[in-house]
Amino acid sequence: MRSKRFEKLAERPINRETFIKPWPEVGLIALDSPLDPSPSLKIEAGVVIEMDGVRREEFDLLDHFIARHALNLDVAERVMNRPSHEIARMLVDINVPRAAILELASGCTPAKLVDIVQQMNVLEMMMGLAKMRARRTPANQAHVTNRKENPALLAADAAEAALRGFAEIETTVGVTRYAPLNALAILVGSQTGRGGVLTQCAVEEATNLRLGFKGLTSYSETLSVYGTEDTYVDGDDTPWSKAFLGAAYASRGVKTRYTSGTGAAALMGHSEGKSMLYLEARCLLVTRGAGSQGTQNGSISCIALPESLPGGVRTVLAENLIAMMLGLEVASGNDALASHSEMRKSAKLMLQFIPGTDFITSGYGAIPRYDNMFGGGNFDVTELDDWYVLQRDMQVDGGLVPVREEEVLRVRERGARAIQAVFDAFGFPPIAEAEIETAITAYNSEDIPDRDKVADIQAAQRLLDGPLTAIEVVKVLQEAGFHDVAANVLEMQRQRVIGDYLQPSAIFGDNFQVLSVLTDPNDYQGPGTGYRVEGKRWSVLQNLPQAWDPRTYLESLGDVEDGTWLEEIGSAEQGDQPEVVVALGPAFGVEIDHTIGGLDHRDVLSAMLQGIHDEGVPARVVRIHHTSDCAFIGHAGAQLSGSGIAIGIQSKGTTVIHQRNLAPLENLELFPQAPNLDLDTYRQIGRNAARYAMGKPTAPVPVRIDNTARLRLIVQTTLMHLRETQQIERDRPPSELHVLRE
């Protein structure tokens, strides 16, 4: 037997995911593996001789590195002896400042860090994020890539992403050899949209470093670290080679951030039976020990693996928190496709979005998913408005600012033309006018003409191997008349010389102002402290292009000066004949001339009168002045009706059939969904009222049910009702109306 409901459930997107039971021995366990060690630390003569149950003789690469570089031995013994729940409580205690936690965490072994966060539920971890995030001002990072590696489209997309407020933009390649051109395109594009956006091109380390040397990129987050020795070596690195690489980037004024995340070691088959969170804690201590200012973590490309396991999403939040406890800048995931279910994706996002992180996503697709060369991306350009609305709903800063279409088109064109000028000056394969034109308005790279890939790759190789650098880019931009873009690219080079953005959590705010732990430290300590969305920023975030001024709607309702089709002929009298009274709301046909469903009031009234007449019953029309409430309008009409039956109707079209002896809020039939009522329904309402007046057995009027009507139209309903309510004259008795035919 099959339940139809279970069949429906089975078809839901959530059931396209894979859910498994934990298997600790192979690392398929999010946290708390039976093979995870208990926290321990033994120090002799300033040397760590045992850590998390492993003696120095058995240390692997990571243990050695952590013991030598990551732990602050001055506080380690004190912290390790302190109960984990005490530290966990300090994390959510608003009276304990961030600095106090940083000091304690600096002496924690991986197992101790895990033990602390395991005491916390997700809400407490979110509190921890709000306090421990390094930078006060949250930000966001974009992905800009396309399948055709088209430079005009890359530049246009980077320009748009910069305009939308992304603080960092990363690109990557389908074909590795394109990397120099892609790096160049997003550099030029980003500096067209907003000066100070940091850019990177994610490729193999050696190439990446060379792009940084040339000033074509300003940050790098490709420095992967892994939680076990075997995965590290499989990744063709060691903690020492990676730390050296970090220093190499810094030596050229390039910001770096390591990357790691739960699930990687299990995926690569070398988990040693440890939980994902424990291995990630090791990664994070290696990251800190290497002197990285930050990390991209939150499972990243492995996200679906922890999500297949119980507690996976909590674990991913826990890894963000551990990174922040270590003082690291955190680009907190939400970048790789995390779910088929929109509900699950959004719920997961909220764990970082609400408390705020240094980068809420470590790559939001500022392009369609089709063109996302980072494996598709979790969110894409079609979901930007959802993001804006969430910011506005919760008064949360997700790092993006609403933009106007004309402004987007302007910066896209300028970005595309700027890269065209650079290609031209460098003698690279020309960017055709058709590429520019399509790049401005493109949805994705299918809208763009193809380029000569061989020639582009040759140009890319020349750029990488030859003498050209960002300085020549500045020069040719200036000479081609792109003075503002040239100035911004130049300023990025000057900032490399200054090096202030090598400090933790650095981004550039307006006018290249560095926001980092040194200049903009998170000072959250409970309500009224820390980063608040207020003042000018709140005005910007709430001012969506889609938001309209409700005052204009009231004006559009029509001040029906020719409302003379309803002639008032004195006070309404008590009837004594069989009849149906049609009681109109105070604004009906006067201040308002149509229902919420767009029906002309004349047609609505005619339909009801026609229905009454069809049953051979006389009708009388009155206007109620003392109330705008549908039930009371109907009830007042019923008191006047000779039969005791009345139809009450508000201007927005909500209708009731009332009877004199009923209480005001009772009724014979109520039609609350005015948008779903058509003229046939109003005629049927008239007929039924007439039948009630004659005491005939009557079946209720069938009505169409559309449960989205309220969602769609509640604002308009409110405004119409407001207008009607403004017409109330409390002390005025009902008027008798004469309906003039045209």
Partner 1 sequence: MPNNTVHTASGRTLDELDIEAIRAGELTAKDFCISGETLHRQADAAEAAGYWQLAENLRRAAELAGISNQEVLDIYNALRPSRSTYDELITLADRLENDLHAPLTAAFVREAAEVYQERGILRNSYETISSEACSCR
> Which residues lie near partner 1 (CB under 8 A)?
60-61, 64-65, 68-70, 72, 99, 102-103, 106, 205-206, 209-210, 213-215, 229, 232-233, 236-238, 240-241, 243-253, 288-293, 327, 465, 469-471, 474-475, 478-479, 483, 486-487, 490, 493-494, 496-500, 502-504, 517-518
Shortest CB 150 distance to partner 1, Å? 27
In 3D space, the residue among 618, 527, 632 whose CA is nearest the CA of residue 581 turns out to be 618
375 vs 521, which CB is nearer to partner 1?
521
Shortest CB 137 distance to partner 1, Å? 17
Q: Are 419 and 459 in contact (CB under 8 A)?
A: no
User: How far apart are the C-alpha atoms of 51 and 204, rounded to whole Å?
Assistant: 33
Q: Are 621 and 737 in contact (CB under 8 A)?
A: yes
388 vs 482, which CB is nearer to partner 1?
482
124 vs 500, which CB is nearer to partner 1?
500
Shortest CB 249 distance to partner 1, Å? 8
- What sign does the CA torsion over 195, 354, 298, 39 have? positive
106 vs 735, which CB is nearer to partner 1?
106
Beta strands in 72-165 (DSSP E): 141-143
352 vs 495, which CB is nearer to partner 1?
495
Instruction: Say how many CA atoms lie within 13 Å of 550 toward its Cβ.
Output: 11
Could you count the other beta carbons within 10 Å of the beta carbon of residue 698?
17
208 vs 654, which CB is nearer to partner 1?
208
User: How far apart are the C-alpha atoms of 660 and 635, rounded to whole Å?
Assistant: 7
In 3D space, the residue among 574, 647, 658 whose CA is nearest the CA of residue 610 turns out to be 647
The two three-digit tokens of residue 722, written as one number? 């407001």
Shortest CB 239 distance to partner 1, Å? 9
Q: Are 634 and 583 in contact (CB under 8 A)?
A: yes
Residue 662 identity (one-letter amino acid): L
Shortest CB 532 distance to partner 1, Å? 23
DSSP letters along 39-63, please? P-EEEETTEEEEETTEEGGG--HHH
Q: Are 52 and 278 in contact (CB under 8 A)?
A: no
User: How far apart are the C-alpha atoms of 593 and 35, rounded to whole Å?
Assistant: 74
Shortest CB 92 distance to partner 1, Å? 22
Shortest CB 43 distance to partner 1, Å? 17
Catalytic residues: 141, 143, 170, 221, 296, 335, 362
Q: Are 169 and 199 in contact (CB under 8 A)?
A: yes
56 vs 613, which CB is nearer to partner 1?
56
Q: Edge-to-edge, what's the strand order for the sheet holding 219-224?
A: 219-224, 255-259, 294-296, 329-331
Alpha helices (runs of H) in 563-708, residue ranges in sequence order: 601-614, 630-640, 679-693
Shortest CB 247 distance to partner 1, Å? 4
488 vs 628, which CB is nearer to partner 1?
488
- What sign does the CA torsion over 411, 413, 416, 419 have? negative
Instruction: Say how many CA atoms lie within 13 Å of 351 toward its Cβ.
Output: 23
